[in-house]
Amino acid sequence: MKNILLLLFLSAPLVGGAPLPADDHTGKPACCGLSAAAVPFTKKSLYQSEAGFTTDAGASFSLGELRGHPVVLAMFFTSCGYACPLIVSDMQAIRAQLPAEVRDRTRFVLVSFDTIRDTPDALAKYRAMRSFEAPWVLLHGNANSVRELAALLGVKYQQEADGAFSHSNLITLLNPEGEVIHQRAGLQGGIGETVATLTTSCEGK
Amino acid sequence: MNPLQQKFHSTSTALALVGLMLAGPIFVKAEAAMVVMPAGTYVPLLRATKEAARITVAPFLLDECPVTNADFLVFVTVSPKWRRSEVSGLFADSSYLEHWSSDLEPGPHAPPAAPVVQVSWFAARAYARWAGKRLPTTAEWEFAASAGYTRPDGKNDDALKKDLYGWLARPVPAVLPDVATAAPNFFGVRGLQGLVWEWVDDFNTSMVTGESRADTGLDRDLFCGAGSVGAKDTTDYAAFMRLALRSSLKANNTTTSLGFRCARDISLTPVKP
């Protein structure tokens, strides 16, 4: 047994388990002066997650690409008839109320629960319908990635027989390191606190 | 034994071999024994009115026993980021593997053949991925656990109920027993009930807020689609315990009585009769 373990230990670098480099996507402009490749993610950063997604433009996307930007993030699905339109409208209202210099840096991220119907194409149609501009990031993921992100955010969800999803109504703020700094649960909370938290967190940076 | 089950049993050896091949050059670790589970149904304890009363479960493979300390030691040995001293707080809370003597030494409180506990959902999932498997879904787990020792419907199995409620009444022992001490159920799966609680992949489906006063009618403000959930079977006390546990957990939580086992899809086309 000891010999086997020793063998496994010696071969460890070959068999994975080592942390991925913090930023291994090349060919994209570094966003904000952070030398992403050199600095590992913080211990609280959601960007430690290796969950992979696809944008509505069909490009593969890891959450770590958001590093350097404040992020307003929610999970949703495009065919949702009740809460999701309200959540998205609230995110648009948050964006409208931010001071210009904060607004320009912030990314607004929507990740779909619906791994089957919300394909990148369906998300692209949703972008057009909602007139989302470039700072909006719409993400499709497989069941594993969506489940992992939900677990990281504390979002609960369940698909019902008619294909719709029951889900937590949650808007999450991430700082530029990808750490959760605020969550608004429910639909009635208003957006003032979210706007204030985001604005304060960006002051002096 | 129904015909479908028999059919899958006949292909199980081949499946195990394929599984080993798929696992590839990853490790010397002995492949944990898996049981071929037939197709079945799961009746959710709580369900939305729009939800089907019975959820169909496709045939799948399920570990015969929970993952042991010895199994998990191999995993952390080759995966430094999942060692106790190196794991990120995002993925496991501060009591992760706390009962182990050190990073690579389970020690006297964690015998090799006892189920590993004090592992988070993220850690359990990472182990499963490393092993070429996945965590079972709630529906799969509950379907497997619905069997008695000698019959597919455990609700009428007095011996199982006696063991289960005895276990629920006892405090968690300081040192857990070996997984092999748990008797196999009708499907040949050991320790689903009466050994440790187990993570499932979709533990975060329970739309319960954790605030008991708020949960009499689920809050439409907090949960889209809620307000439509009602209890199905109020006699299954242990199922309520599991639901309550899953609802209260965060994915980085670890407890002294919470372990896991792995499942795997059956990807080969079943043999035609």
pLDDT in tens, B36-80: 999 999 887 765 555 567 889 999 999 999 999 999 999 999 999
B55 → chain A, closest CA residue: A161
In a domain, B47, yes or no: yes
Least Cα distance to B166 among B191, B194, B198 occurs for B194
The domain in which residue B200 lies consists of 3-265
Residues 39-98 of A with CB under 8 A from B: 43-46, 48-49, 80, 82-84
CB nearest A169 (choices: B27, B121, B223): B223
Tell me the DSSP string of A61-126. Answer: EEGGGGTTS-EEEEEE-TT--SHHHHHHHHHHHHHHHS-HHHHHH-EEEEEES-TTT--HHHHHHH
pLDDT of the residue at B98: 96
The total domain count for chain B is 1
Query: Is residue A33's pLDDT more than 50?
Result: no
Instruction: Please report, for residues A75, A87, A180, B188, B231, the alpha-carbon distance to residue A83 in angstroms, rounded to integers and kept in the order given.
Output: 11, 6, 22, 44, 24
pLDDT tens per residue, range B128-157 = 999 999 999 999 999 999 999 998 888 778
Residues contacting B118, CB < 8 A, separation 6+: B95, B96, B97, B98, B99, B254, B255, B256, B258
Do the Cβ atoms of A69 and A31 come closer than 8 Å? yes
Distance from C-alpha of A39 to C-alpha of A174, rounded to nearest angstrom: 18
Whether B120 is in a domain gets the answer: yes
Asked if B214 has any chain A CB less than 8 Å from its own CB, the reply is: no
Q: How many Å apart are CA B271 and CA B273, to the nearest integer?
A: 6
Indicate the range of A90-94, A158-162, B226-230 predicted with least confidence: B226-230
Under 8 Å CB-to-CB from B178, ≥6 apart: which residues? B111, B113, B114
Residue B251 sits in a domain whose CATH number is 3.90.1580
Q: Does the distance separating the beta carbons of A8 and B27 come in below 8 Å?
A: yes
Residue B73 lies in a domain: yes
Q: Give bridge partners of residue B197 from the DSSP assignment.
A: B258
Can you tell me the mean pLDDT for A46-63? Answer: 96
Residue from B41, B45, B90 to probe the interface with A (highest A Cβ count within 10 Å): B90
The pLDDT of residue A162 is above 50: yes
| Parallel/antiparallel/unpaired status of strands A170-174 and B46-48 | unpaired
Average pLDDT, chain B: 80
> What size, in residues, is chain B?
273
Indicate whether B272 belongs to any domain: no
Rounded to whole angstroms, the Cα distance separating A121 from B141 reads 35
Has residue B243 been placed in a domain?
yes
φ, ψ for residue B177 (rounded to 5)?
-75, 165
Contact at CB, B250 and A154, closer than 8 angstroms: yes
What CA–CA distance (Å, rounded) separates A201 from A194?
11
% of chain A at pLDDT higher than 70: 80
A and B: number of Cβ contacts within 8 A? 112
Closest CA to A48 of A140, A148, A146, A138: A148
User: Look-up: residue for tokens 């689903």?
Assistant: B192
Any CB–CB contact under 8 A between A35 and chain B?
no
Contact (Cβ atoms closer than 8 angstroms) between residue B246 and residue B142: no
**B270 found inside a domain:** no
B103 is written with which tokens? 């990073």
**Residue in B187, B179, B182, B181 with CA at minimum distance from that of residue B150:** B187
* Residue A147, min C-alpha distance to chain B (Å): 7
Of B204, B48, B85, nearest to A163 by C-alpha is: B48
pLDDT tier at B214 (50, 70, 90 boundaries)?
A: very low
Residue B184 pLDDT more than 80? Answer: yes
What's the confidence (pLDDT) of residue A186? Answer: 75
Domains present along chain A, CATH in parentheses: 52-202 (3.40.30.10)
Query: Is residue B43, in this structure, part of any structural domain at all?
Result: yes
Helix (H) or strand (E) holding B86: none
Tokens of A72: 């307003």
> What are the counts of helices (DSSP H) followed by strands (DSSP E) for chain A?
6, 9
CA–CA separation, A17 and A13 (whole Å): 8
In a domain, B129, yes or no: yes
Q: How far apart are CA A164 and CA B263, in angstroms?
A: 26
Least confident of A41-50, A125-134, B4-13, B248-257: B4-13
Q: What are phi and psi of A49, to 5 degrees?
A: -65, 140
Residue B235 has pLDDT above 70, yes or no: no
Do B256 and B172 touch, CB atoms closer than 8 A? Answer: yes
Confidence grade of residue A5 (pLDDT, cut at 50, 70, 90) = very low
Q: Which residue has the higher pLDDT, B247 or A42?
A: A42
- Residue B8 pLDDT exceeds 90: no
Q: Which residue has the higher pLDDT, B13 or A157?
A: A157
Distance from CA of A22 to the nearest CA of B (A): 14
Summarised one tens digit per residue, pLDDT across range B93-123 is: 999 999 999 999 999 999 999 999 999 999 9
For residues A70 and A106, the answer to whether their CB atoms sit within 8 Å is: yes
ipTM of the complex: 0.75
- The answer to whether residues B178 and B211 touch, using CB atoms and an 8 Å cutoff, is no
CB contact under 8 A, B77 and A8: yes
User: What distances in angstroms separate CA B183 from CA B75, B170, B189, one per listed residue?
Assistant: 26, 18, 8
User: What is the model's pLDDT at position B223?
Assistant: 54
A12 and chain B in contact, CB less than 8 A = yes
